[in-house]
């Protein structure tokens, strides 16, 4: 490999030509938690590392240089390292950096524009689902060694719509297995229905819930919410319930 300077490495990392990778498996020094090694376009390790926090690139060759420079940077980096965990891992001992008032204001202004420009409800940016989405984006950004464009990571509405169907199918299969095992044990279950109306579109919906006891506790699960175009008669309601039970393979069981 020809001689390359730090600026060139930074540009190649930003373009994706070079990539960062984890520390050697044999490395046990504490300062390694602040750095990642760098691979060239042929996936060869080059004698440079990048700081996970401040993104500075430092020369490092285990055979030629000591670790004094890296140790010093690890101890004095203005942005103290936060050990990243996998997105799927949540721990009460996880450490997070404090958010400055300036950063919070930037997010606030973005939320204002997000809601106001498209006339969305202010509650759109509240709740656990939004927090989970934002946390996923933060975790991905934290694990990356270069800036990411929002347009590159966000999916379009068509892709999301298709994925919804796939996720719903996967979750329904899991729920069918759970209900089959639980209902086989308890034998009896109850079904409740709730009619409600969308105040903006005036569409009428029907939500069907299942209730049963297990391990001394009452369990409740929503089976389906559907738009209702027929009249709210007992016959139409029963048809909707039966079709829903049939889709979950529960029609031969014993509802109360």
Domain ranges of the chain: 6-76, 101-153, 165-255
Average pLDDT value for residue range 188-200: 88
Q: What does the pLDDT read at residue 90?
A: 44
Q: How far apart are CA 65 and CA 47, in angstroms?
A: 10
Instruction: Kindly state the percentage of the chain with pLDDT values over 90.
Output: 21
Q: What does the pLDDT read at residue 146?
A: 81
Q: What does the pLDDT read at residue 102?
A: 86
Total-model pTM: 0.50
Contact 35, 47 (CB under 8 A): no
CA dihedral (97, 100, 106, 107) in degrees, to 10, reads 40
- Residue 220, pLDDT > 50, answer yes
- Residue 88, pLDDT > 70, answer no
Confidence of residue 205 (pLDDT cuts 50, 70, 90): very high
In sequence order, what are the beta bridge partners of 199?
A: none
């Amino acid at each position: 490999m020809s001689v390359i300077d730090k600026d060139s490495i930074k540009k190649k990392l930003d373009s994706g030509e070079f990539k960062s990778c984890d520390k050697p498996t044999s490395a046990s020094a504490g300062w390694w938690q602040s750095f990642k090694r760098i691979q060239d376009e042929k996936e060869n390790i080059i004698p440079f590392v990048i700081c996970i926090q401040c993104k500075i690139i430092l020369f490092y060759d285990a055979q030629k240089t000591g670790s004094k420079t890296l140790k010093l940077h690890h101890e004095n980096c203005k942005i103290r390292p936060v050990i990243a965990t996998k997105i799927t891992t949540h721990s009460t001992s996880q450490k997070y950096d404090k958010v400055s008032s300036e950063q919070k204001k930037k997010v606030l202004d973005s939320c204002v524009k997000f809601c106001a420009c498209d006339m969305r409800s202010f509650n759109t940016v509240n709740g656990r689902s939004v927090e989970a989405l934002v946390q996923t984006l933060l975790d991905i950004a934290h694990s990356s060694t270069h800036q990411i464009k929002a347009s590159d990571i966000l999916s379009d509405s068509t892709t999301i719509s298709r994925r919804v169907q796939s996720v719903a199918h996967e979750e329904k299969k899991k729920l069918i297995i759970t209900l089959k095992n639980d209902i086989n044990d308890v034998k009896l279950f109850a079904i409740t229905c709730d009619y409600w109306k969308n105040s903006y579109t005036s569409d009428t919906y029907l939500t069907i819930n299942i209730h049963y006891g297990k391990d001394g506790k009452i369990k409740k699960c929503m089976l389906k919410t559907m738009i209702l175009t027929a009249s709210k008669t007992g016959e139409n309601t029963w048809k909707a319930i039966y079709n829903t039970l049939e889709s979950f393979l529960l029609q031969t069981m014993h509802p109360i």
